[in-house]
Amino acid sequence: MTSTSPLTRTPPSTPASAAVPVDPARSDRRGAGVDDVRLSPTGFWGRRQLVNGEATIAHCLDWIERLDWLENIDRVARRETTVERAGWQFSDSEIYKLLEAMAWELGRRDDPALEATFASVVGRVAAAQDDDGYLGTAFGHPGLPERYSDLGMGHELYNLGHLLQAAVARVRTRGEDALVEVARRAADHVCREFGADGRDGICGHPEIEVGLAEFGRALGEPRYVEQARLFVDRRGHGSLPVPPLQSAEYFQDDTPVLDAEALRGHAVRALYLSAGAVDVAVDGGDDALLEALRRQWDHTVERRTYLTGGMGSRHQDEGFGEDFELPADRGYCETCAGVGSVMFSWRLYLATGEVRYVDLIERTLFNVVATSPASDGRSFFYANPLHQREAGAESTDGVNTRAEGGTRAPWFEVSCCPTNVARTLASLPAYVAALDGDTAVLLQYADGRVHIGDVLLDVQTRYPDDGVIRIEILDAPAHESTVRLRVPAWANDAHLVEPDSDARPVEPGWVDVRRRFTAGDVITLDLRITPRFTFPDPRVDAVRGTVAVERGPLVLCLESVDLPDGVTIDDVAVDTTAAPVATIDGATVSGVVVTSGERAPGALPYGANAETPTPTSDLDIALVPYHRWAERGPATMRVFIPTADGRNTTAATDGR
Amino acid sequence: MTSTSPLTRTPPSTPASAAVPVDPARSDRRGAGVDDVRLSPTGFWGRRQLVNGEATIAHCLDWIERLDWLENIDRVARRETTVERAGWQFSDSEIYKLLEAMAWELGRRDDPALEATFASVVGRVAAAQDDDGYLGTAFGHPGLPERYSDLGMGHELYNLGHLLQAAVARVRTRGEDALVEVARRAADHVCREFGADGRDGICGHPEIEVGLAEFGRALGEPRYVEQARLFVDRRGHGSLPVPPLQSAEYFQDDTPVLDAEALRGHAVRALYLSAGAVDVAVDGGDDALLEALRRQWDHTVERRTYLTGGMGSRHQDEGFGEDFELPADRGYCETCAGVGSVMFSWRLYLATGEVRYVDLIERTLFNVVATSPASDGRSFFYANPLHQREAGAESTDGVNTRAEGGTRAPWFEVSCCPTNVARTLASLPAYVAALDGDTAVLLQYADGRVHIGDVLLDVQTRYPDDGVIRIEILDAPAHESTVRLRVPAWANDAHLVEPDSDARPVEPGWVDVRRRFTAGDVITLDLRITPRFTFPDPRVDAVRGTVAVERGPLVLCLESVDLPDGVTIDDVAVDTTAAPVATIDGATVSGVVVTSGERAPGALPYGANAETPTPTSDLDIALVPYHRWAERGPATMRVFIPTADGRNTTAATDGR
């Protein structure tokens, strides 16, 4: 089931054993196993996956040890919990998310050293488990508060949810082992404690739902899924005590999932809950719940989502804002919310087969998830705003106590994002392709080999730098079969070349190539990536009169380091009558340097006369991919740039 | 020193006993005493002062009793502090701010019942004071943490600062009494504990500085002022432990006051600190410190202040944002920050005599301080955003646990604002006029009688509904004297009529009328209030392409209740080529109803084509004063409205 070379052809795994993070009980679709897709180490995602395996996982483990978060576990095992505990009450979850990352990594390649590390951590975790299956370092032991005495903020079930997700990764890649056994005992404990006859409680931070549902699927234990359903059903009835200065909306305890109109409150909580609720709805055949979640997704994407796919516009409560409250500068867009958004959208894709969910996954992966880690995989963005007014500090080797700020940090006081990035990149192959009925679907374009169903594909592409995707059939059944390709919503000049055919235009959405394939057949999809202007909806007040530039799936941005001396990001405006011009991986737009009027000292920034900035000189403005901003030292940055005429002018772009 | 009728002429008080909140040791200026200005009960401010005295003070006391915040005091007196304490660690300060409000109120009028209430509360406070002068209910007694064991967040000195300000109000209106004695013992305790040879500490929430400085001035005890200077000097060196997920900037412990460039961090903290630092700078003749504070004021007003005068653009940390980070929808503009801004600007006016400080005070009083209380004085805004996207809840009689929201609430979990409004309105006369050398200066225009220096004026005006201010000299010295009037910065068509003269135009700033006045002389200032367009600086991204309408000192706003059925505040745009037309106290502007383009379900609010909203019909848009928004039930609201052509167009207004 594993392979040492990413490009070695592997025998098809049977669907029953697919190494996938999500496998609904009722679905016509299943993603590729993590071992079914071999990303080329030179491609966009393959490179990141390699760095993740070689650097990020070890980096995270190092910090977890350094800060004594594993020592917390050992102290429970040694019954020494009366000394002061290290870290937040949710620090255990970082260990579990890292175990999940390791498990997916080990599901793709043999690595005896990593396997030994994994086993060692699992051994320490197992030693800390109570006889009745309870596992936790912040409650329920001498010197600590009682178990479940703070359901609102205690994160005990949240931590266990991540344990279960790690065990899912393990059981689906290597089968049952010590971690799976620990997880099973923990899940049994949760069902006993919080079952229909148990405590009528929920966890302030959703995650147990998605963990239980998938672990139940993985082990064939429907009662775990049933317990997840109980947690989803119990939510929204105001049962959690609301902390001072908080609201029930913060942890989605204000309105039942079935009745909510949009995602709201703490973004990661809302997204994890939604993902778990889709699992429950799908396995239970609860169409009303599924429809409610689809409506909430629509509303949230239409009115509460950034161009990057980022979600959560408020630092306050790390939360969603109201409709169209999408400030570029204070956009929080937590990396973990990006991960949660992928989790939610992925489950809706599996449930429906609709392309828009996959489109948002692509947008979020390229512009949120890929933005977080530095190229060396050892520092991370927590928040991903679309406008940086003040340059961040020089990067340091210390803990960044605050989530904000223009500089990737090695670790955070609340350090949820690094391990979330690690587990997502380690399991990325699962989102690249899917089997829809007997149709092989290519969802994301990445250089590498894809084995899906009975089809083995060699994908060659420099995507997203280039839009040409060459798909060679290496193996396919003798009978007629279908390869389905996704044409992203932005690709409205895409062309397809089927074997022995001429290029033909294809529309955004799904495009099927159905035939009796023979080895060596080549399908070429040309998404014709050129930079394009993107204008905000007029209701997004915060970016009125501005324009962004996108290039394929990438959002571009202006960094101060690319401007001439003396010109700041506030001094330029874009001439939208001239089309943007492609550079190697970004774009150049025509612009002007503008000068704002002078005001008297101490005068408010408001005046009787409109002050359209005065153009003083022309300037070509170089834009780079947002995902790699701040890699050249501290900088200011903006995605949305004012237009030279001060309004949303219809663009003369490349004809689209 | 008191009078039962607001319009009864009172004998001049001697300057030495002026009932003012601020009286620098070195200054050519002093504000009017609270008993020197008799506001007419039908005028804008007189009405509010009346409601404050008749309703708000009792309302606040009722809530303070109801929530056991005075019971906390009694428990200390009874030595029963081992039971759980009510409220936050700063709840004592609400009692002291209310005492300050009562003291100013009693400084203007006799009210035996209020006097008895005052004495009763003071008696309870006095009974809780420790033998060594310490006073506090959250630390330093059995069952509570040790004194000063949490300087960062404990608010012990903050509370005492408010006690001292209350005592200032008392000693300057009624002389020494029990409250003043309690305050003196507390101040002595603070000096012993935190003096040059004592603890090298500061309080996480500034306020003790301003309290000590003024109490020292009022009692002629320079060592209290010196202690205030010590606190100011010690700040900014990172001595306070930074709470989790916080930063030293939050409580201005990142940079010494002398070195800071702008106000930053928690807005109320920053403003109280700045006010105290001005006191210290002025009394100590520290010109460098004063200059630093003036620069910070300039920077803050130029780049971090709302059109309303509101300060603090972040809910997160209730803090200032970065330069030009001034979102309308999430503008926090805490009422207390408005009070703090008045405190800071007032001290800078006294120090310099410059008109711009008084201009900002007017803007802030009318648009922040006056906005907070409902017309009945029994509910309050805590935050004062300039755009309400979702209508607030129906008002309730309960505690509003969150500061946000579109509905005035009777009380808050953190209820700093109601008592801050109360003490400000009770002392409002002190800001209406000043004596600058021997010049009588009229700073704010309010219907009533003003006794300043040797001059007694009868001011008749419907300001701000009307710009005509008729000033009759009731009494003046036999020799030549000067009456100085403020022409607000916005009044660029103002005219003045001196006795026996024709109207002449006057420029914004100070205008002096110097002559040998005789009783019956009339000066008429006509500020010619007409509604006017105000455009944001292009660097304020959040409101690009919009316009606001002001009318004299008032910011106007659009409330949804004034729109036709089916039209929302997001559906209208303003035609800035037509001048706004005055209504009784607001304005009407020409506008259009616009329709935004439809997007596909689940589509992001960004697109390839600019979507300038399409005008579908003309509409006169009625605007009302911002200070009275949300008085007609839950509504959405906006101050800045998109312009019909989508950009900052130079306005064809009334010729200015």
Enumerate residues 333 to 362 of chain A having a beta carbon within 8 A of any beta carbon in chain B.
356
Mutate to test the interface with B, among A263, A294, A329, A541 (most CBs of B within 10 A): A541
**A547 to chain B: closest CA residue:** B610
Nearest to B647 among A534, A612, A650 (CB): A612
Phi/psi at B437 (5° precision): 60, -120
Inform me whether the C-beta atom of residue B319 falls under 8 Å from chain A C-beta atoms: no
Question: Which of A375, A376, A415 is closest to A629 using CA atoms?
Answer: A375
Q: What is the C-alpha to C-alpha distance for residues A623 and A638, in angstroms, rounded to an integer? A: 10
Sorted by where each starts, the structural domains of chain A and their CATH numbers stand as 67-228 (no CATH), 235-426 (no CATH), 433-526 (2.60.40.1180), 534-642 (no CATH)
Q: What is the C-alpha to C-alpha distance for residues A111 and A119, in angstroms, rounded to an integer? A: 12
Helix (H) or strand (E) holding A572: strand A572-574
Question: Residue A588's beta-bridge partner residues?
Answer: A581, A622
Q: What is the C-alpha to C-alpha distance for residues A133 and B41, in angstroms, rounded to an integer? A: 72
Q: Do B246 and A645 touch (CB under 8 A)?
A: no
Q: Do B297 and A646 touch (CB under 8 A)?
A: no
A555 contacts A626 by C-beta, under 8 angstroms: yes
Which segments of B462-507 are extended strands (E)?
468-475, 481-487, 494-497, 504-506
Give A281→chain B minimum CA distance, Å.
Answer: 20
Q: Do B316 and A315 touch (CB under 8 A)?
A: yes
Tell me, what's the pLDDT at B28? Answer: 92
Enumerate residues 477 to 496 of chain B having a beta carbon within 8 A of any beta carbon in chain A.
489, 492
pLDDT tens-place string over residues A210-229: 999 999 999 999 999 999 99
Residues of B whose CB is below 8 A from A606: 307, 534-537, 540, 548
Q: Which residues neighbour A557 within 8 Å (Cβ) at sequence distance 6 or greater?
A: A386, A623, A624, A625, A626, A629, A637, A638, A639
3-state SS of B437-455 is CCEEEECCCCCEEEEECCE
Tell me, what's the pLDDT at B401? Answer: 65
Q: What is the C-alpha to C-alpha distance for residues B151 and B140, in angstroms, rounded to an integer? A: 13
Inform me whether the C-beta atom of residue A387 falls under 8 Å from chain B C-beta atoms: yes
Q: Do A576 and B610 touch (CB under 8 A)?
A: yes
Mutate to test the interface with A, among B266, B294, B402, B537 (most CBs of A within 10 A): B537
Q: What is the C-alpha to C-alpha distance for residues A273 and A169, in angstroms, rounded to an integer? A: 20
Nearest to B602 among A301, A307, A604 (CB): A301
Inform me whether the C-beta atom of residue B4 falls under 8 Å from chain A C-beta atoms: no
Inform me whether the C-beta atom of residue B601 falls under 8 Å from chain A C-beta atoms: yes
Q: Which residues neighbour A131 within 8 Å (Cβ) at sequence distance 6 or greater?
A: none
B99 contacts B118 by C-beta, under 8 angstroms: yes
State both tokens at A3: 């392979």
- Amino acid (1-letter code) at residue A484: R
Whether A77 shows a pLDDT value over 70: the answer reads yes
B640 contacts A595 by C-beta, under 8 angstroms: no
Question: Residue A469's beta-bridge partner residues?
Answer: A461, A525
3-state secondary structure of B495: strand
State both tokens at A141: 């032991």
Report the complex ipTM: 0.92
Give A482→chain B minimum CA distance, Å.
Answer: 27
Residue A14: pLDDT band (50, 70, 90) is very low
Residues of B whose CB is below 8 A from A303: 605
Tell me, what's the pLDDT at B14? Answer: 36
Tell me, what's the pLDDT at B80? Answer: 94
Inform me whether the C-beta atom of residue B63 falls under 8 Å from chain A C-beta atoms: no
Question: Virtual CA dihedral for A52, A58, A62, A65, nearest 10 degrees?
Answer: 110
pLDDT tens-place string over residues A346-360: 999 999 999 999 999
Question: Which of A622, A572, A623 is closest to A595 using CA atoms?
Answer: A572
Tell me, what's the pLDDT at A572? Answer: 94
Nearest to A323 among B242, B325, B389 (CB): B389
pLDDT tens-place string over residues B130-144: 999 999 999 999 999
B445 contacts B461 by C-beta, under 8 angstroms: yes
Mean of all residue pLDDT scores within chain A: 93
Rounded average pLDDT over A507-526: 97
Q: What is the distance between the terminal CA atoms of chain A, rounded to a whole angstrom?
A: 46
Q: Do A534 and B607 touch (CB under 8 A)?
A: yes
Inform me whether the C-beta atom of residue B169 falls under 8 Å from chain A C-beta atoms: no
pLDDT tens-place string over residues A596-624: 777 888 999 998 877 666 777 889 999 99
Give A45→chain B minimum CA distance, Å.
Answer: 24
**A316 to chain B: closest CA residue:** B316
The conformation of residue A247, written as its DSSP 8-state character, comes to -
Residues of B whose CB is below 8 A from A307: 604, 606
B650 contacts A609 by C-beta, under 8 angstroms: yes
Rounded average pLDDT over A279-296: 98
Rounded to the nearest angstrom, the gap between the alpha carbon of residue A438 and the centroid of all alpha carbons in its chain is 28
Give B597→chain A minimum CA distance, Å.
Answer: 8
Inform me whether the C-beta atom of residue A648 falls under 8 Å from chain B C-beta atoms: yes
State both tokens at B304: 């971090």
Q: Do A387 and B541 touch (CB under 8 A)?
A: yes
Mutate to test the interface with B, among A305, A308, A606, A653 (most CBs of B within 10 A): A606
The low-confidence residues of chain B, meaning pLDDT below 50, are 1-16, 648-656
Q: Do B537 and A325 touch (CB under 8 A)?
A: no
Q: What is the C-alpha to C-alpha distance for residues B150 and B129, in angstroms, rounded to an integer? A: 20
**B242 to chain A: closest CA residue:** A401
Tell me, what's the pLDDT at B30? Answer: 94
Inform me whether the C-beta atom of residue B418 falls under 8 Å from chain A C-beta atoms: no
**B600 to chain A: closest CA residue:** A302
Q: Do A544 and B656 touch (CB under 8 A)?
A: no
Question: Residue A487's beta-bridge partner residues?
Answer: A509
Is omega for the bond preceding B241 within 30 degrees of 0, making it cis? no
State both tokens at B505: 């135009």
Nearest to B413 among A245, A329, A610 (CB): A245
Tell me, what's the pLDDT at A359? Answer: 98
